[in-house]
Amino acid sequence: MFNRMVPPLNGNSFPMFSRVALASLVLRLCVILLLGFLTACGGGRAPSRPTGTMGGEGGYYKVGKPYQIKGDWYYPKEDYSYDETGIASWYGADFHQLKTANGEIYNKNELTAAHKTLPMPSLARVTNLDNGRSIVVRVNDRGPFSGARVIDVSQRSAQLLGFEKRGTAKVRVQVLADESKAIAEAMRTYGGSSQETNALVASAQQVQQPTSSPFTSSNASVEVMTLDSVKPVAEYVQMPVTGKNQIFVQAGAFTNIGNAQKLQQSLKKTGVVNVVDALVKGVKYYRVRVGPLDSVALADKTLKKVLGSGADNARIIVD
């Protein structure tokens, strides 16, 4: 387990819908999308409907302003195309029952995670690239800030992913875009914490619906719904293990090969440095990588050297 520092807490398309009706519809769609996604990935296994409070007591939606930890700046944003590889760590008893960065209560036995920049809460799929185990976690905290880790998952998440005893794992982290957008929209519409959300929905007796509404009645009662419906299911699905999944330090990525070669020359003393091209959204990039590296410890050490050479955007990746 790696210690983690927590930074200080810092609808026009449907004009006839009330705020409560729109939020209720968004939540319905969110639940359907999430359950469908998990069932498809689990080979037809339908997850049980979990109980509890999605946001924990007092949890609220938060992106946050740029912040600095140990001299490094981080820039939170709503990035629904997020898809990164790297090293994961986990945290447990030392933070159990303490508040997370968005006001929830951390529970080491739930499938949650800390990330430096993703919105809170949002849903992400984390896949262990060594054994193929894959789970969905709810991002509700900031971190990790110990070592160059891409995500810090809860203890229960690490158990399901199969790296609790080892402490770290090579992982791929992918935001679940549709589900995360729906959660963000619902919490923005309600405004405030999950407790306020529940109270608002429960207080609504009837809502006028337009004739084009998907609901049959023009005076349909609003179902009392909460965000607990999108709490990830505590089980993993098995994904195929593909590729060599080697560890590299990526020092930078450039559209100009000359700039990439300059950086390559400046990093000769740090190890084997290669320039690898890749096509991203139709744009050709030249990535400068040190490695492959035999271990996470060596990757950490190499990253420090690369950062010390002036490559401020260097990070550990798995490919």
Domain boundaries, the chain: 247-318
CB 162 within 8 A of CB 128: yes
Measure the CA–CA gap between 55 and 101, rounded to whole angstroms. Answer: 12
Q: How many CB atoms lie within 10 A of CB 9?
A: 12
pLDDT in tens, 77-114: 999 999 999 999 999 999 999 999 999 999 999 999 99
For residue 221, pLDDT beyond 60? no
The Cα 150–Cα 313 span in angstroms is 14
Q: Give the lowest-confidence range in 70-84, 97-111, 159-173, 178-192.
A: 178-192
Contacts of 191 by beta carbon, 8 Å cutoff, 6+ apart: none
> How buried is 180 (Cβ within 10 angstroms: 0-12 exposed, 13-18 middle, 19+ buried)?
buried
Please, where are the H alpha helices in the chain? 19-41, 155-161, 177-190, 194-203, 257-266, 296-308
Q: What confidence tier does 186 reach under pLDDT thresholds 50, 70, 90?
A: confident
DSSP H helices, 4-79, are: 19-41
More confident residue, 100 or 46: 100
The CATH code for residues 247-318 is: 3.30.70.1070
Tokens, residue 264:
């390559």
pLDDT band, very low/low/confident/very high, at 52 (cuts 50, 70, 90): very low
Q: What does pTM read for this prediction? A: 0.72
pLDDT-based confidence at 246, cuts 50/70/90? very high
Q: H or E segment at 124? A: strand 122-128
Cis peptide before 50 (omega within 30 of 0): no
